[in-house]
Structure 1
């Protein structure tokens, strides 16, 4: 049997990390039950590095020492500031890419949401323009607000551009990887950006072996996210990973594109499943991914392999 590491997404701050891990496991068990299988791993073989409070507090400006310690379950646990112009530009680019999913002419769609009779210059520094973007998303994003997409995007920005935040989270995730054994990694949402970055940068030097990397609801293919990842290190297939399986619901509010040759070209190619029927309200929730029978089976098959 192989160990399993779960890397969560955003909006997990102030949650009970034990309950968060239990919720992930229950969702996976539901998916397994749909195909007549039972969870093959004991709780201590499943690790969830919890960084929700760390991200929340570091983004609010606290030092790593003040931020909540990252807890790896299964192991004994030892206000936003004003946005910079760079962050606003990142946020606008990502949000406009989302608008482009629903409108043939994104800029025109946003302009139509501006106050009548007001001639407003396009640009993220203009609040009316931002409001127009969020209104378009409110109209078209099922089960979620434009603000929720913006918050998810901002968390990714903070992780990719703030070294102290990135280092604190990366160290916590890396500490969850068991030494000297093959480990399956499953990541969701922002967690897919974190897990990918950790695996590509640390996996080989630390001797990790990940026979199966599973990402669900991933925003990795969003253009500005790819660009920022490339500024940190070459965008390559993580050398420690043998196979990468990505699953998404086409209606997901966060994962715009599959991680395929068009949107996230890597060698070897990533295997994509694009027809998940995520039953959660915004089509992005982890429950709707882990209880998908194909996703549940993929994780099961990877962890039960003998080494």
Structure 2
């Protein structure tokens, strides 16, 4: 059996890594049971690199880290970070069909708001509208965007996170990597830059709830193809998952050969983005199981 590597997303600080790993395992085993597969993945074949505390620690002292951004906004955020978030919010507004009049109504001063990503009050108002849509979470969208930006632009954060993930990969084994949310950005960026150098073998990559195809993230990563050694790439997303706005297709995230997208699933977690809702899905669980046994 190949080695299974789980790479988690954001907002996992102050949690016990062993407990988180067990939650992922239990969700996967539920998915296998729903798929009619009477099997379990042995614990000694599963690795769970944990970076939640490191991400929180390095981000805590940066400007604009208050949790009430939708209510208050933040004036100290760097211009590049504001632009990055605003572009992702604009993509969400277009994809979700949100009306400009609803954004204007959600602004602190509706009579003074101007349309467009250059206008920060417009971005804050749009996040509030997304937050009010049942099943969506504007705050989650803003946070995952901010963490992606900081991972990509702050070398200290990137190095610490990647050092932990690298320890789960060894050149003498084949790995099936299952990454969620921010974890998909970390895994793709790491494999793209280092898989060939370290001779990592990743015959199957599974991405769940991935923001890779959101325009500012794709532009930052500049995808040109699959990372070295990745033969099969299966990407699953719930169309109502506001973090995974677009499929990983050639219109949004060019890769050759094309990535297999599965968007016919429904993630039963409240924001349609939780990892349990993805791993418990029978199609996702079966693909992981089959990849481990090839």
Same fold? TM cut 0.5: yes
Runs (5+) with no aligned partner, structure 2: 67-75
Matches within 5 A, 1:158-177: 158-177=150-169
> Equivalent residue of 2:196, what SS?
coil
Partner of 2:71: none
Partner of 1:153: 145
Matches within 5 A, 1:1-307: 1-61=1-61, 80=65, 82-103=76-97, 107-115=100-108, 118-122=111-115, 128-140=121-133, 142-230=134-222, 235-305=224-294
CA RMSD of aligned residues (A): 2.0
Over 3 Å counting, the alpha-carbon distance change for 1:117 and 1:229 in structure 2 is: closer
1:184, 1:303 within 8 Å by CA — same for their partners in 2? Answer: yes
Deviation for aligned residue 1:131: 3.0
Runs (5+) with no aligned partner, structure 1: 63-78
Residues in 1 aligned to 2:108 and 2:52: alpha-carbon distance in whole angstroms: 37
Deviation for aligned residue 1:286: 0.5
Deviation digits for residues 244-273 of structure 1, max 9, x if unmatched? 000011111210011112221210110010
> Equivalent residue of 1:245, what SS?
strand
Deviation for aligned residue 1:122: 4.5
Residues in 1 aligned to 2:16 and 2:109: alpha-carbon distance in whole angstroms: 46
1:85, 1:125 within 8 Å by CA — same for their partners in 2? Answer: no
Query: Larger deviation: 33-42 or 186-195?
Result: 33-42
Tell me how many residue pairs correspond in the alignment.
284
Per the normalisation by structure 2, the TM-score is: 0.90
Over 3 Å counting, the alpha-carbon distance change for 1:117 and 1:251 in structure 2 is: closer
Q: Which has the higher helix share?
A: 2
Residues in 1 aligned to 2:85 and 2:61: alpha-carbon distance in whole angstroms: 19
Moved over 3 A (4+): 121-128
Over 3 Å counting, the alpha-carbon distance change for 1:39 and 1:25 in structure 2 is: farther
1:188, 1:215 within 8 Å by CA — same for their partners in 2? Answer: yes
Per the normalisation by structure 1, the TM-score is: 0.87
